[in-house]
Amino acid sequence: MTQAPNIEYEMPKAYESGKVEQKWYQFWLDKGYFKPEIDPEKKPFVIIMPPPNVTGELHVGHALTATLEDIMTRWHRMKGEPALWLPGVDHAGIAAQVVVEQLLAKEGLDRHQLGREKFLERMRQWAEECRHTIAEQHQRLGASCDWSRERFTLDEGPSRAVRTAFVRLYQKGLIYRGERIINWCPRCATALSDLEVEHKDIQGHLYYVRYHLAEDDQGFITVATTRPETILGDTAVAVNPEDDRFKAMVGKKVILPVVNREIPIVADEAVDPGFGTGAVKITPAHDPVDFEVAQRHGLQLVNILNPDATMNENAGPYLGLDRFACRKAIVSDLEKEGLLIKIEPYSHSVGHCQRCQTMIEPLASKQWFVNMSPLAKPAIDAATDGRITIIPERFTKVYLNWMENIRDWCISRQLWWGHRIPVWYCQDCGELTVTVDDAKACSRCGSNNIEQDPDVLDTWFSSALWTHSTLGWPDDTEELRYFYPTSVMETGYDILFFWVARMIMMGLEDTGDIPFHTVYLHGLIRDERGEKMSKIRGNVLNPIDTLERYGTDAMRFALSTGTSPGNDIKLTVSRLEAGRNFANKLWNATRFIIRSIGSADADMKIQWHLLPVEDRWILSRLSRTVLSVTGLMEDFQFGEAQRQIHDFLWGEFCDWYIEIAKIRLQSAGEAVSPIPVLVHVLETSLRLLHPYMPFVTEELWQNLKRHLSSEWQTTDSIMIATYPEASKAAIDPEAERIVEPLVEIIRSIRNARAQYKVESTRWIEAQIYAGSLASQLKQYTKTIEVLSRAKPVTLLDSRLENAEGKNVLVLVLKDSEVVIPMESMVDLAAEKKRLQAEIEQSQAEITRLEVRLKSRDFLTKAPKAVVDKEKDKLVSRKDKLARLKQQLNRFN
């Protein structure tokens, strides 16, 4: 058994330095708290962590993910559920390969020089380093995930899942190989899926080019294009069949400029007669629409590009030129030949590689695709019939819209880093062998002369299987049976399509069941200026630097408090400071309470029947807070939940209860000690807060426990203590009705002091008329004295109808009045002004209430409780108004 670490009573600085954090993390780890037990009697809570890419270190976005997932996991664990949070990392295909290629470039190497095997070895080393760094960083964030189940997408298990899924889809006819227009990144030298292309508006040009008719020197047709270099790949000109201008030309041939090839004029619906000249050049190998036109008309495909986007042999004289150089050259040649009619500035959207920002070339190429529509249908149903809930709800529409318009997914990548496509081509008979285990021979002719497809799969293909591949699928494991479907998928809304949608499709396809019940989408982290963080902008915040500076809990506070799902978060210094200050406040409050315990007797039993009003009040407020926080958490409103814990602890417990309790502690003797309540509220609040701020709560909780008797020693750690349960029994409206005016009285005296600039060291007298509350407030005269620095405070039996003298200040409150004899003259003018303002305000409110209460509709249609409330309010406001007026009369 691991012993709880020996706790030196350190100041917050020690906590900020990270020592406390590391101490506790190690403690939890040693205790094995992160690993849930499989208990068939209990329903588990499961989150599979979105695996960070092995491209370097974590950024604040990951810290947000980790924070939210840790909050949920810790909360459910404290509720006694077997809570599994399964961590992992993603090999990240292109993204990681790009990083390592850059590292190689610094050494003057490229991957082709190394060769596939050596390069992959290098990649594996790199991935292993990253995995290490990432795990370490997660630990610093306090992530309570089960490291014994950590997975990497290229691990044996997940890899077998990938192959199995591929083979099954292939056998069902849902994976096919074919020549289609794909997005080609010339820099990465690979095909990309549509999602991996970012469209940006580019200020370009529209070139109008004349194509002469073949049999008629005079006749011509003019086309408009943004990419004149693709003329080299034209195999037709198309016009709309309904376009009278060109009807006569359809079927004739034109001479392709520059290359002087004859190509036909065809009629096709796809052409918009209103755009450009109404005639379109058709480049089937380099444009998706043209590709389809070509299919319909049986046109030839002419590919004019090499993989690196230089011109190939089909470009004739332009062979070897870069695509942009070629464009210039062609434009200049067209001009020379008088075929360029005009150039117009034109803004259009151009695809760029998501990873390297290189301009994409649409290219006809033979690739592997997944036919998505059959997979989308069950995924649509799951979100429509309520089996899967997306938070915030608005993303359901976005999800459905994408699903309903889904297009086939190009999954092959011409990379080395990733899951190799499990397909072998027979060099003898040409048959494809598609198997999970490495093929040794052709499945048809048995030849050993087979070669595996050199390509790898899109990294998102393995991600799509993550929820089940991490739990053992395709095997029927105990883990899979127990933990699947998982509970929550928590991630950023930016990967809804990339990942979440595909996981739902593949989860349903592979297991027949949804992968998770709830999708929680968080917002993106932005910098102080509201800009998205990116390496290119150089505004990326390293979460480790941040937590070293402010403390992990402060950062978690900054990331989760006062935020809401799906909305972006601006991470500012002041947010971080607020978190740090809150941790510090807790530290100090706990220190105070621990010191108080030391000087009192050790019995912390609350004597419920003897409790004074303020004890009942704070216990009531605690109950309400627990009730509300629990409800909010069940509703995934973590930001609001934490804000309420913060406000309760700081604004009520520290500001009022502790301050009042101090007075009791100082006047030794007859009174009931506040210490049991102090301890109870603190201890409960720490548990309530623990999911959010795990380190400071553990440190303080452990410290507190050391001063308590054995019956408090329920668990070895706060993280496995039970989560507070709301007790409605402790809600005490009567106590609240007394403490509220008490607070109001104290505030009003403090206010008067400030207004009249009474020196802080000077005491003033106060007399209070509290009507029906007098008897309960009687025992609080000392409290009022100490907290408002007024002495003596006396309670009046009756109102001072007309307080005598001009140097008496009368404060009219809701149900009470405070009379303060002033040493010097009261500023009459100022007082009159203040009273008049109050009267006006009061009068306005009364008018509003009266109007409302005269309305028959209101009286009959509003709920009775609301009506009664308004009636009571009117009575009390009228009373206050009358008293205000009397005070004003004093001055007249």
Question: What is the CB neighbour count within 10 angstroms for residue 88?
Answer: 23
CB nearer to RNA: give 311 or 403.
403
Q: Which of residues 670-699 bind RNA (CB under 7 A)?
A: none
Q: Which helix (H) or strand (E) holds 225?
A: strand 220-225
Min. distance of Cβ 665 from RNA in angstroms?
Answer: 9
Dist. CA 7–CA 109, nearest whole Å: 52
**What is the separation, in whole angstroms, between the first and last Cα of the chain?**
80
Q: Interface with RNA includes 278 (CB under 7 A)?
A: yes
Q: Interface with RNA includes 19 (CB under 7 A)?
A: no
Taking Cα atoms as reference points, which of 33, 25, 45 lies closest to residue 85?
A: 45
Task: Note whether 649 and 657 are within 8 A (CB).
Answer: no
Q: What is the DSSP letter of 723?
A: P
CB nearer to RNA: give 439 or 749.
749
- Among residues 266, 547, 589, 793, the one that binds RNA under rule CB under 7 A: 589
Q: Which of residues 186-245 bind RNA (CB under 7 A)?
A: 194-195, 198-199, 223-227
CB nearer to RNA: give 570 or 782.
570
Residues 6+ away with beta carbon under 8 Å from 568: 523, 524, 525, 526
CB nearer to RNA: give 431 or 845.
845
Dist. CA 131–CA 151, nearest whole Å: 10
Judged by CB under 7 A, the stretch of 184-192, 282-290, 430-438, 450-458 that binds RNA is 282-290
Task: Note whether 75 and 691 are within 8 A (CB).
Answer: yes
Residues forming beta bridges with residue 179, ordered by sequence position? 366
Min. distance of Cβ 845 from RNA in angstroms?
Answer: 6
Q: Which of residues 777-816 bind RNA (CB under 7 A)?
A: 814
Min. distance of Cβ 430 from RNA in angstroms?
Answer: 33
- Among residues 237, 375, 544, 578, the one that binds RNA under rule CB under 7 A: 578
Q: Interface with RNA includes 313 (CB under 7 A)?
A: no
CB nearer to RNA: give 47 or 790.
790
Min. distance of Cβ 672 from RNA in angstroms?
Answer: 20
What are the Cα distances from residue 167, in Å, to 160, 171, 367, 421, 423? Answer: 10, 6, 16, 10, 9
Min. distance of Cβ 284 from RNA in angstroms?
Answer: 13
Dist. CA 82–CA 42, nearest whole Å: 7
Dist. CA 617–CA 605, nearest whole Å: 18
Judged by CB under 7 A, the stretch of 35-43, 316-324, 571-579, 673-681 that binds RNA is 571-579
Min. distance of Cβ 11 from RNA in angstroms?
Answer: 8
Residues 6+ away with beta carbon under 8 Å from 197: 183, 351, 352, 353, 354, 360
- Among residues 397, 535, 549, 806, the one that binds RNA under rule CB under 7 A: 397
CB nearer to RNA: give 802 or 847.
847
- Can you point out the beta strands (E) in 302-431? 340-353, 361-370, 389-391, 409-410, 412-413, 423-426
Count of residues binding RNA (CB under 7 A)?
93
Min. distance of Cβ 125 from RNA in angstroms?
Answer: 33
Q: What share of the chain is helix, strand, coil (3-state, %, to 5)?
A: 50, 20, 35
Q: What is the DSSP letter of 540?
A: P
Tell me which amino acid residue 136 is: E
Task: Note whether 723 and 697 are within 8 A (CB).
Answer: no
Q: Interface with RNA includes 751 (CB under 7 A)?
A: yes
Residue whose structure tokens are 């270190």:
57
- Among residues 177, 662, 706, 885, the one that binds RNA under rule CB under 7 A: 662
Dist. CA 373–CA 370, nearest whole Å: 9
Dist. CA 46–CA 818, nearest whole Å: 57
CB nearer to RNA: give 149 or 227.
227
**CA-based diameter of the chain, in Å?**
117
Question: What is the CB neighbour count within 10 angstroms for residue 827?
Answer: 14
CB nearer to RNA: give 440 or 535.
535
Q: Interface with RNA includes 756 (CB under 7 A)?
A: no
Q: Interface with RNA includes 667 (CB under 7 A)?
A: no
Site map (CB under 7 A) of RNA, residues 530-569, x = contact:
x-------------------------------xxxx-xx-
- Among residues 148, 260, 599, 760, the one that binds RNA under rule CB under 7 A: 760
DSSP string across 463-477: HTTHHHHTTTTTS--
Min. distance of Cβ 595 from RNA in angstroms?
Answer: 6
CA dihedral sign, ordered 635, 639, 641, 642? positive
User: How distant is the alpha carbon of residue 470 from its chain centre?
Assistant: 23
- Among residues 22, 214, 858, 878, the one that binds RNA under rule CB under 7 A: 858
Q: Interface with RNA includes 527 (CB under 7 A)?
A: no
Q: Interface with RNA includes 873 (CB under 7 A)?
A: yes
Min. distance of Cβ 667 from RNA in angstroms?
Answer: 13
**Per-residue tokens: 315:** 């470009």
CB nearer to RNA: give 670 or 857.
857
Min. distance of Cβ 181 from RNA in angstroms?
Answer: 9
Question: What is the CB neighbour count within 10 angstroms for residue 296?
Answer: 12
Q: Interface with RNA includes 588 (CB under 7 A)?
A: yes
Dist. CA 435–CA 382, nearest whole Å: 30
- Among residues 38, 248, 270, 830, the one that binds RNA under rule CB under 7 A: 270
Q: Which of residues 24-83 bind RNA (CB under 7 A)?
A: none
Judged by CB under 7 A, the stretch of 332-340, 456-464, 579-587, 712-720 that binds RNA is 579-587
Give the strand pairing for 151-152 and 88-89. parallel
- Among residues 79, 377, 737, 750, the one that binds RNA under rule CB under 7 A: 750
Residues 6+ away with beta carbon under 8 Å from 754: none
Min. distance of Cβ 768 from RNA in angstroms?
Answer: 17
Q: Interface with RNA includes 763 (CB under 7 A)?
A: no
Min. distance of Cβ 504 from RNA in angstroms?
Answer: 17
What are the Cα distances from residue 98, in Å, to 94, 105, 192, 193, 421? Answer: 6, 10, 14, 17, 20
**Per-residue tokens: 863:** 């709920």
Q: Which of residues 591-610 bind RNA (CB under 7 A)?
A: 591-592, 595
Site map (CB under 7 A) of RNA, residues 131-160, x = contact:
------------------------------
Is-cis flag, bond preceding 392, omega within 30?
yes
Min. distance of Cβ 61 from RNA in angstroms?
Answer: 14
Q: Interface with RNA includes 356 (CB under 7 A)?
A: no
Judged by CB under 7 A, the stretch of 89-97, 307-315, 718-726, 743-751 that binds RNA is 743-751
Min. distance of Cβ 341 from RNA in angstroms?
Answer: 14
Q: Interface with RNA includes 643 (CB under 7 A)?
A: yes
Q: Interface with RNA includes 570 (CB under 7 A)?
A: yes
- Can you point out the beta strands (E) in 458-535? 486-492, 516-522, 525-526
> What does residue 96 show for φ and ψ, rounded to 5 degrees?
-70, -40
Q: Which of residues 420-439 bind RNA (CB under 7 A)?
A: none
- Among residues 402, 425, 756, 763, the one that binds RNA under rule CB under 7 A: 402
Judged by CB under 7 A, the stretch of 272-280, 336-344, 448-456, 670-678 that binds RNA is 272-280
Dist. CA 450–CA 438, nearest whole Å: 11
Q: Which of residues 609-638 bind RNA (CB under 7 A)?
A: 635, 637
